[in-house]
Amino acid sequence: MINSSSSKQVGQDQQATSEPRSPRPKIKMVKSEESDKRILNKKLKDVEISIPIVYGNVSFWLGKKASEYQSHKWTVYVRGATNEDIGVVIKRVVFQLHSSFKNPTRVVESPPFELSEAGWGEFEIAITLYFHIDLCDKPLTLYHHLKLYPEDESGPMSSKKPVVAECFDEIAFPEPSEGFLVRVQNHPAVNVPRLPTGFTLPPPVPFEDANRKKRGDTKDHPLSQWFMNFSEADELLQLAAARQQVQAYLAKLRRQISMIDGQHQQLKTISDS
C-alpha cells in the first residue's frame, strides 16, 4: 500500500530533519520511531486532497456542412474547475467511445484532456482518469452522456452557438502520501487543506514532465468562452437558506408538541380525579 511505504519514509525523514543527530540507545529509538509513525499516520489521515474538475462536452451543429452521419462536431473533455492545469495529478485520460467509432478507445497523454470527433448520435462516454503512479495507482472512471441536441427542440439550430453539457465533481484522495502533498502543496488546481499544526513538509522537488511541451491549463482554451460557471457560493447560500427554514419549522413543531403534551397532562389529571 502506498500509505504504509510512505509513512516509513516519512518516519525516517522526520528523524533527519527535526531531531539532532546524536546516537541513541536502540530501544529508545525504536519507540520514538513508532510513536512518530503513529502520529504521522494520524496526521496524514486527517488530510484530504481534492481536485475540483468539470467534465462534459461542447457540440456544434455543422449547419450547411452537416451530412447524415456527421451532423455535429463535438469535443468531450475533463478540465480543472477553475481552468487550472490538472496534469499535475492526472497522467492520462482514456475516453471510451461508442463501438461504431473507429478505434473507440482514445487515449490522451497530456493536458488539455480532450477529444474531438464528428458524429450524429448521443451516447455514454466512459472517461477513465489515470493518475501519476506515485500519487495514486488506482484509476477513476466518470460517465458522461454526450449531448448534441439542445433542450429546447423547437428552437432553430445554430451553427454558431454550441450545445454545452458540463458536470462538476471533485476527485478526493483521502489519505495522500507525503510525496503527494509535497508535489501539490501550492498548486492552483488542487485543494490542500491546512496541515495540522507542527506538521511540516519538506520543500518540493522540481517535477519535470517530459510530455509537457504545451501548457496544461485551459484558461485560454478556444472553447473556454462556452465553459459553464460553477459557483459553490450560490449553492451554499441556497442550502443555508433552506436549512434555516427547516430549522425554524422544527422549532415550531417542537413548541407545538410540548404544548400538546402539557394539554394531555392536564386532561389526564382531570380525568383521573
Partner 1 sequence: MDAKDILGLPKNSITQEKKSRPQKDSQRKPDGISREVYALTGGFPPLIPAIEASQLKKRPPSDEKITWQWLPFTNSARKDNLHLYHWVRIVNGVPPTGDYSFAKYNKMWTKEETDQLFELCQSFDLRFIVIADRFPSSRTVEELKDRYYSVARAMLAARAPSPGDISGHPLVKEPYNVSQETERKRALSMVLSQTKQQERKDAEVLAEAKRITESRMVARGAEESELPVPSNAGPESAERAAIPSDTVSPSANVQHPSAAVAPSTITVDNASILASLRMLRVYLRTYALDQMVQAASSSAGLRTIKRVEQTLQELGVNLKPRVPTKAVCAEHLELRREILTLLNLQKQLQYKEAEGSSYRDGSYGDTPGTPKHLSHGGDQDRIFVPDMNFAGERIGKRDQKRKAPGRLSEAPLPAHKRPRKLKAADL
Which residues form the interface with partner 1 (CB under 8 A)? 1-4, 41-42, 45, 48, 50, 52, 128, 131, 136-142, 168-175, 230-232, 234-250, 252-254, 256-257, 260-261, 263-264, 267-268, 271
Closer of 124 and 170 to partner 1 (Cβ): 170
State which residue, 37 or 98, has the beta carbon closest to partner 1.
37
| Shortest Cβ 157–partner 1 spacing (Å) | 26
Cα dist. 60→69, 74, 249 in Å?
Answer: 14, 6, 48
In the complex, minimum distance from the CB of residue 164 to partner 1, in angstroms, rounded to a whole number: 14
Smallest separation, CB 173 to partner 1 (Å): 5
Given the complex with partner 1, which of 2 and 157 has the nearer CB atom?
2
**From the CB of 218, what's the least distance to partner 1, in Å?**
18
Shortest Å distance, C-beta 68 to partner 1: 35
From 203, 184, 185, 200, select the one nearest 40 (Cα to Cα).
200
CA Rg value for the chain: 27
Nearer to partner 1, 66 or 167 (CB): 167
Specify the residue, 52 or 119, whose C-beta has the smaller distance to partner 1: 52
